[in-house]
Amino acid sequence: MKYVFNLNVALLFFAFVLITSCDDDDENEVTKLEATATVDLDAVSTSKFTLFNFENNAVVANTDSISTKWDIGFRGTTIILNGGTSGPGLASGQIVSGIFDELLEAPATEYASDSQSAKAITGSGGWYTYTGTTAVPNHAILPIAGKVLVLKTADGKYVKMEIISYYKGNPDTTTSTFADLNTRPASRYYTFNFIYQPDGTTNFETTR
Segment holding 18, helix H or strand E? helix 2-27
Q: Is residue 122 part of a domain?
A: yes
Confirm whether 28 is domain-assigned. no
Maximum CA pair distance of the chain?
A: 96
Residues 6+ apart with CB under 8 A from 99: 146, 148
Q: Please write the tens of the pLDDT for every residue from 53-106.
A: 999 999 999 999 999 999 999 999 999 999 999 999 999 999 999 999 999 999
Residue 11 has pLDDT above 80, yes or no: no
CB 195 within 8 A of CB 34: yes
Least confident of 11-25, 168-182, 193-207: 11-25
**Residue at 23 is within a domain:** no
| Mean pLDDT to the nearest integer, 155-160 | 98
pLDDT band at residue 27 under the 50/70/90 scheme: low
- The verdict on residue 104 lying in a domain is yes
pLDDT at 10 over 50: no
pLDDT > 50? residue 5: no
Q: What is the pLDDT of residue 39?
A: 65
**Mean pLDDT score across all residues of the chain:** 88
> What integer pLDDT is reported at residue 4 of this predicted model?
42
Spatial distance between the Cα atoms of 165 and 131, rounded to a whole number of angstroms: 14
Percent of the chain exceeding pLDDT 70 equals 86
Question: Is 14 domain-assigned?
Answer: no
Of 33-37, 54-58, 89-93, 196-200, the range with the lowest mean pLDDT is 33-37
Domain contains 191 = yes
Number of domains making up the chain: 1
Residue range(s) defining the domain that contains residue 111: 33-207
Q: How confident is the model at residue 28 (pLDDT cuts 50, 70, 90)?
A: low
- Cβ-based neighbour number of residue 90 at 10 Å: 19
DSSP 94-133: EEEES-GGG--B--SS--B---SS--SS-TBTTTEEE-TT
pLDDT at 131: 96
Task: Provide mean pLDDT across the span 170-174.
Answer: 97
The whole-number average pLDDT for the span 8-12 is 40
Please check whether residue 39 lies inside any domain of the structure. Answer: yes
